[in-house]
């Protein structure tokens, strides 16, 4: 009976939803018949399984399985949020949530604080970057997923949660009772000059939540107050997007009033919209370089596509992600929600930047073929194409990364050594520089961690040795041994060969332990090849304008 009551309640709610859908979207008669027919089939099947299957079934879990299977055939951006997930909606739309203000992640298999958010309970009570969270609310984190951690840390503002952390240099665990509060995530995480003598400003935009537009405006005004702003670098790398309206607000800071920024088109008439700049630009003529990478997506691509099509700024980096689909969040019964794709967006020239075709609705996605890519023109007549995200005006990969540095990143070695360094050095000056002695200490610490790595050359020699052995060329063993010795010598010299890059990364990570995320970002700019290339581009006025001219 309990199951039947649950089923009837579900059926009533769904019937109301079906009536809402029919009343507002008015499908054709044949579509409405198919909806009604298949809903009745689904309802009957669901009731039979819950009531009569040989083993007891969880009605909610079974229904969720059906929802997940249905959504799997669509694009990955159409997502069902149950009541427990609904806090994610606030982060997407408002950039805020109820929590203790700790950014956490897995490092070497442990739940680790990657940065406390300034001004929050975790920050004020002394939780540090690098602290390993061993217990939350009395529960060991050893086998927790990141979802488990998030659910335990978040909650209603005003409530508390106890965490226990292990900190390098501390002989015993540390306990903190943290008060949950409304945590507001910053959209702009850094604003400053990149070499004040050049007058080149830099703004790092992490996300497009509701306040992103005002924050970027405030950042530009702040730069203008600090000095003569001659050029601006807007960093959208790793920015996954957010609200379309926020992207429009940011774009209109730079483009002429009345300019087309983006348009959307979907199945329903109300999705056919044009978004134009409604206000005079804040900085109409300020030279602008926008940094992008393969993780710049959605709202980031709206901004970048508009600026490129209107010849308003130089795009530098690697091609963007290619997400040209627009979602809206619709409330559903019992405090659940659906983030659903309703339309596609198009840049001012009319191009779609969507790189993947989900149109078959069979769970398979295919890339846009080169033969199907179309050509468009910017305002100045430059050629641009659709189907690959936004392709930069100035390709800049950031240069090769040594195999040593890649291996150190994979092991989070810079991160954990910074914890070790901070434990041994209670104080640090803001003018701190990494010396050869610091690098030697890093190498010694790595040895205590049994750090090893294999290079591509080592793997190639190993394969060669196996092939020679299989072919019976035993006399080649001496040559193989000589190769292995030469490679080992090269590896031993890697620390000296790549010393400048290693020192820069160590400095940024160590500064973060004492002065926070702002100091880390500022330090990282000094060795960022794409930022340096952007500064060079803005410093050469004639080259900058040639990039934006018809060619």
Of the candidates 460, 423, 462, the residue with the CA atom closest to the CA atom of residue 441: 423
Of the residues 323, 343, 465, 528, only one is catalytic, namely: 323
Annotated active-site residue in 298, 337, 343, 465: 298
Residue 193 phi, psi (nearest 5): -95, 145
Q: What is the Cα gyration radius of the chain?
A: 28
Q: 3-state DSSP call for residue 434?
A: coil
Instruction: Given the residues 75, 131, 235, 309, select the one marked as catalytic.
Output: 309
**Residue 298, SS3?**
coil
Instruction: Decide if 323 is catalytic.
Output: yes
**Residue 220, H or E segment:** helix 212-226
For residue 47, CA distances in Å to 44, 53, 58 come to 5, 10, 12
- Verify whether residue 377 is a known catalytic residue: no
d(CA 466, CA 476): 11
Comparing CA positions, the residue from 447, 446, 452, 442 lying closest to residue 505 is: 442
Q: Is residue 252 helix, strand or coil?
A: coil
Angle at 437 between CA 435 and CA 438, to 5 degrees: 65
Q: How many C-beta atoms lie closer than 10 Å to residue 211's C-beta?
A: 20
Helix crossing, 529-539 with 541-548: angle to 10°?
A: 100
148 labelled catalytic:
no
Q: Measured between alpha carbons, how far is 269 from 272 in angstroms, rounded to an integer? A: 6
- The answer to whether 190 and 521 are in contact (CB under 8 A) is yes
- CB under 8 Å to 538, separation ≥6 — which residues? 198, 200, 230, 231, 232, 233, 287, 289, 544
In angstroms, the Cα distances linking 221 to 212, 248, 395 are 14, 19, 29
Which residues are catalytically annotated? 298, 309, 323
């Amino acid at each position: 009976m309990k199951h039947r009551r649950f089923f009837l309640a579900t059926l009533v709610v769904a019937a109301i939803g079906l009536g809402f859908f029919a009343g507002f979207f008015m499908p054709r008669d044949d579509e409405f018949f198919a909806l009604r027919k298949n809903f009745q089939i689904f309802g009957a099947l669901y009731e039979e399984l819950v009531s009569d299957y040989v083993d007891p079934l969880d009605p909610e879990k079974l229904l969720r399985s059906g929802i997940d299977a249905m959504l799997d055939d669509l694009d990955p951006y159409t997502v069902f949020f149950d009541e427990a997930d609904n806090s994610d909606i606030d982060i997407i739309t408002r950039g805020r949530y109820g929590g203790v203000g700790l950014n956490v992640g897995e490092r070497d298999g442990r739940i680790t604080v990657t940065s406390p958010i300034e001004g929050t309970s975790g920050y004020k009570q002394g939780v540090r970057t690098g602290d390993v969270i061993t217990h939350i609310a009395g529960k060991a984190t050893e086998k927790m997923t990141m979802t488990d951690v998030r659910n335990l840390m978040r909650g209603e503002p005003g409530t508390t949660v106890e965490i226990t952390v292990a900190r390098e240099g501390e002989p015993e665990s540390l306990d903190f009772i943290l008060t949950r509060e409304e945590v507001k995530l910053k959209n702009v995480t850094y604003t400053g000059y990149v070499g004040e003598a050049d007058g080149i400003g830099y703004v790092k935009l992490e996300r497009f939540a509701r306040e992103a537009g005002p924050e970027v405006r405030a950042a530009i005004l702040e730069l203008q107050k600090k000095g003569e702003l001659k050029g601006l670098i807007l960093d959208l790398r790793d920015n996954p997007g957010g609200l379309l309206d926020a992207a429009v607000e940011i774009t209109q800071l730079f483009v002429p009033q009345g300019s087309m920024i983006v348009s959307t088109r979907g199945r329903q008439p109300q999705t056919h919209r044009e978004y134009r700049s409604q206000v005079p630009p804040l900085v109409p003529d300020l030279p602008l370089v926008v940094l992008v990478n393969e993780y710049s997506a959605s709202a980031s691509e709206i901004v970048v596509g508009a600026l490129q099509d209107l010849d308003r700024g130089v795009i530098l980096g690697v091609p963007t992600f290619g997400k040209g689909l627009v979602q809206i969040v619709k409330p559903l019964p019992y405090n659940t929600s659906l983030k659903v794709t309703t339309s596609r967006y198009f840049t001012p020239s009319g191009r779609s930047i969507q790189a993947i075709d989900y149109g078959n609705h069979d769970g398979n996605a295919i890339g846009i073929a080169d033969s199907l890519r179309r050509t468009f023109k910017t305002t100045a007549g430059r050629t641009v194409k659709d189907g690959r995200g936004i392709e930069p005006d100035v390709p800049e990969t950031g240069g090769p990364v040594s195999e040593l540095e890649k291996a150190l990143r994979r092991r989070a070695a810079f991160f954990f050594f910074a914890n070790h360094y901070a434990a041994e050095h209670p104080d640090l000056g803001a003018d701190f520089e990494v010396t050869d002695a610091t690098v030697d200490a890093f190498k010694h610490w790595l040895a205590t961690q049994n750090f090893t790595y294999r290079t591509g050359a080592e793997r190639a020699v190993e394969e060669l040795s196996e092939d020679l052995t299989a072919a019976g060329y035993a006399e080649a063993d001496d040559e193989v041994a000589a190769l292995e010795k030469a490679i080992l010598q090269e590896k031993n010299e890697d620390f000296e060969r790549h010393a400048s890059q290693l020192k820069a990364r160590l400095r940024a990570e160590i500064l973060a332990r004492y002065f926070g995320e702002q100091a880390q970002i500022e330090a990282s700019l000094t060795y960022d090849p794409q930022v340096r290339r952007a500064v060079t581009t803005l410093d050469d006025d004639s080259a900058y304008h040639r990039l934006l001219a018809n060619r």
